[in-house]
Amino acid sequence: MQSIFANSTETDQDLLKIAAKIDEFEGYHSAHGQRIAAIADVIASHFNLASRDRFFLQQAALVHDIGEMHMNREYIRVPRKLSDSERLDLQRHPVIGEQEASKLGLPRGTQLIIRWHHEWWNGSGYPDGIEAEEIPLAARILRVSDTYAALTASRPFRGAMSADDAGKYLIEWAGIEFDPTVVKAFKAAAENARAKAAQQTPQTIAT
């Protein structure tokens, strides 16, 4: 995230603190929001997203689940599947997140990415049921980044999925939940990262 927050402001630092609180609330044991932001920025660079849009995406990635924290529901952390009523209730969190982002004074672009980060490519997502390219590219990138980071992180109610299995999940749901071009960009970035790691000597990796 250094490319975006190299000259961090007080607002950026406040967002990092809020992101840490959200991670703790959701039961993540690492900087989950920051990890999503890093993944999203790599994908965004593939599409040559404008620096302003990349900045909005970074902000949204950090606090995309602020609505969940504000709702403060116990069922979010329980080790079981949600009931139908709980699932419907939880689907309010992107709109609440948008409202909370507004209260924080975040840009409208950031607010809308938060609102739409659960929209699906085929239109069956929420809260607005928009589809395909109606969904802003930044929100489509966040959908992929958030899902991959969540699947490969341990939660109180399940273990982490392997990177390969999480990648296969994204591919299987491309064209349904995820924008296929974003999944393709994610896959290319992952393969590029693995190739670079393989070229490094053990000593270089250790440092």
Q: How far apart are CA 118 and CA 125, in angstroms?
A: 6
- Other Cβ atoms closer than 10 A to 96: 18
pLDDT at 154: 81
**Which phi and psi angles does 161 have, rounded to 5°?**
-85, 150
Please say whether the beta carbons of 22 and 68 come within 8 A: yes
Q: Which two tokens stand for residue 108?
A: 């409208």
Choice between 79 and 41, residue whose per-residue pLDDT is larger: 41
Residue 101 pLDDT exceeds 70? yes
Choice between 75 and 119, residue whose per-residue pLDDT is larger: 119
Tokens 């590029």 belong to 192
pLDDT at 205: 41
How far is CA 143 from each of CA 25, 37, 72, 113, rounded to the nearest angstrom? Answer: 20, 11, 22, 10
pLDDT single digits (tens) 8-39 = 566 688 999 999 999 999 988 889 999 999 99
How far is CA 7 from each of CA 3, 11, 106, 188, 203, rounded to the nearest angstrom? Answer: 9, 11, 17, 29, 31
Indicate the pLDDT class of residue 195, thresholds 50, 70 and 90: confident
Domain span at residue 167 reads 2-206
Please say whether the beta carbons of 67 and 92 come within 8 A: yes
Percent of the chain predicted with pLDDT > 70: 90
3-state secondary structure 11-49: HHHHHHHHHHHHHHHHCCCCCHHHHHHHHHHHHHHHCCC
pLDDT single digits (tens) 143-193 = 999 999 999 998 766 788 999 999 999 999 999 999 999 999 999 998 887
pLDDT at 30: 86
pTM surpassing 0.95?
no
Residue 117 pLDDT exceeds 70? yes
Choice between 42 and 12, residue whose per-residue pLDDT is larger: 42
pLDDT at 9: 66
Please say whether the beta carbons of 135 and 118 come within 8 A: no
Provide the CATH number for the domain around residue 26.
1.10.3210.10
In this predicted structure, which of 27-41, 71-85, 99-113 has the lowest mean pLDDT? 71-85
pLDDT at 3: 43
Indicate the pLDDT class of residue 201, thresholds 50, 70 and 90: low
- For the chain, what is the domain count? 1
Mean of the pLDDT values across residues 133-148?
A: 98
